[in-house]
Amino acid sequence: MDEADRQILRRCRVQLVNELQVAPLWDVLLTRQLFTPAMIEDIQHAGSGSRSDQARQLVTDLETRGSQALPLFISCLEDTDQNNLASVLRARRQAEKQNPEAVRPWNPMPVVVGAMGLTPEDLRGKQGDQEISKQNADLAYALNADPCGHCLIINNVNFCLESRLTARTGSNIDCEKLRQRFHLLHFMVEVKCDLTAKQMVQALVELARRDHSALDCCVVVVLSHGCQASHRQFPGAVYGTDGCPVAIERIVNIFNGAGCPSLGGKPKLFFIQACGGEQKDRGFEVASASPEDRTPGSEPESDAVPFQEGPGPFDQPDAVSSLPTPSDIFVSYSTFPGFVSWRDTKSGSWYVETLDGVFEQWAHSEDLQTLLLRVANAVSQKGFYKQIPGCFNFLRKKLFFKV
């Protein structure tokens, strides 16, 4: 199938999945030799076997069926009295012939640390690509297990007096939102509260030592105060309740191939709600600047503490000579390294509140990186002071949550 026909299918994918009646099509598809009997059987058993899952798989597989697949498929629709869908596809094809620029290929965005969001045109182009990725094992991780993995949430709210760190009021709201969200995404969620740095490392090591062989993914969420820290791979550190820091790169490397072999080749996701430093970003003026986004009667707090010049007692990275390539890792930061991350005492942090809302609305159809682009764009428009989340993406494939 040429690129123009492929783009037409992708742009019509949502309507096709919603409206396509697959049962009358099987015999016609076989008669026109668009699919073999074995292919039809595979499509019929796709996903849960529901009509929508079969329709989605049929449209996905159609792209592999040669240069005349789309016009033949349109004829099959007409033969089964699905004239509305046939007319839509035929009109799109005719429009493309008259104006080739009307259906342009979608070019994927590069991996970036942080982003300012997507235009509506970009999102329309991505919709079809995401549906294909969900069905293609070469492009997307398979999250078939149920539950699909463990999710550990470390929620540090109250800190000892000697740490000189304030209580993180509002973090329990973040914690509960994420507990419910990842439960709905088919994770086994475990919450641990107010851990010292040593206890944080122990909890992470304990999780890494579990047998994940029957699972497909692992999630770690840390809600705490944070700071800048010396690093070789991943910037920043988070604080235990005793005021001792744990480097983000140490947290990540606990789950490397040596420490957690049963997660080898599987996605390991880290979400960090903590300051990356003490800088407060006042932003810069743009023509479409949004008004201040703040809960009435509340004052946002930051999760910042001073820069740590050297590693603390629990801030030692793994030996550099033995660190593996950090594949299948995704680290999402609530803020750019060096900058403050804002938390509302009544509604929780800007980052988690937005993350939860974006996942609720879009996780059923978009991959992880696209979801985080939405989060970055939304958070960047909040408040008098500014904040921009970002990520380090070392995934080898796209990741779609199980919903």
- Please report, to the nearest 10 degrees, the dihedral formed by the alpha carbons of residues 347, 352, 356, 361 taken in order: 100
> What b/e sequence results for 92-129 when a residue is b if at least 16 CB atoms lie within 10 Å of its CB, and e otherwise?
bbeebeeeeeebeebeeeeeebbbeebeeeebebbbbb
Residues with active-site annotation: 225, 275
In angstroms, the CA 97 to CA 61 distance is 24
Distance CA 221, CA 372 (A): 15
Query: CA nearest 207: which of 143, 147, 263?
Result: 263
Residue closest to 293 by CA, chosen among 378, 361, 168, 373: 378
Distance CA 342, CA 273 (A): 9
| C-alpha pair distances (Å), 2 with each of 31, 63, 136, 212, 343 | 23, 9, 19, 41, 49
The residues, any chain, with a CB within 8 Å of residue 368's CB and separated by 6 or more, are 269, 330, 395, 398, 399, 400, 401
**Phi/psi at 273 (5° precision):** -100, 95
Chain Cα centroid distance, residue 196: 29
| Lookup: tokens for 143 | 């999250």
Can you spell out the DSSP letters for 28-60? Answer: HHHHTTSS-HHHHHHHHTSTT--HHHHHHHHHH
> What does the alpha-carbon distance between residue 60 and residue 13 come to, in Å, rounded to a whole number?
9
Long-range contacts of 66-71 (CB under 8 A, 24+ apart): 66/1, 67/1, 67/2, 67/5, 69/1, 69/5, 69/34, 70/1, 70/5, 70/8, 70/9
Phi and psi of 214, rounded to 5°? -90, 5
Q: Let me know: does 185 contact 403? Beta carbons within 8 Å.
A: yes
Distance CA 229, CA 208 (A): 24
